[in-house]
Amino acid sequence: MELIKWRKARRSGDQGDACVEVARFPEAVAIRDSKNTGGPMLMLAPDTFRALLDDIKR
């Protein structure tokens, strides 16, 4: 069984600030709160995740 590999943004620090983590699945990208790793996840289709990132960058 393959483990889910969560990762934080490179710009996130270790100060305990509000950060999100992402993980890739075959047909989705998951997003979760790094301070609540057992909490809910937002699952997005890869195209939707890319659109979200583009909107955030603008």
- At 35-51, the pLDDT tens digits run 888 999 999 999 999 99
pLDDT at 19: 85
Report the candidate in 32, 30, 34, 5 with the shortest Cα–Cα distance to residue 17. Answer: 34
User: What global pTM score does this model have?
Assistant: 0.77
DSSP-derived 3-state class of residue 22: strand
Per-residue pLDDT for 1 more than 60?
A: no
Domains of the chain, residue spans: 19-57
pLDDT at 32: 92
Per-residue pLDDT for 10 more than 90?
A: no
Distance CA 2, CA 10 (A): 24
Task: Strand 28-33: give its sheet, edge to edge.
Answer: 7-8, 20-25, 28-33, 42-44
Length of the chain: 58
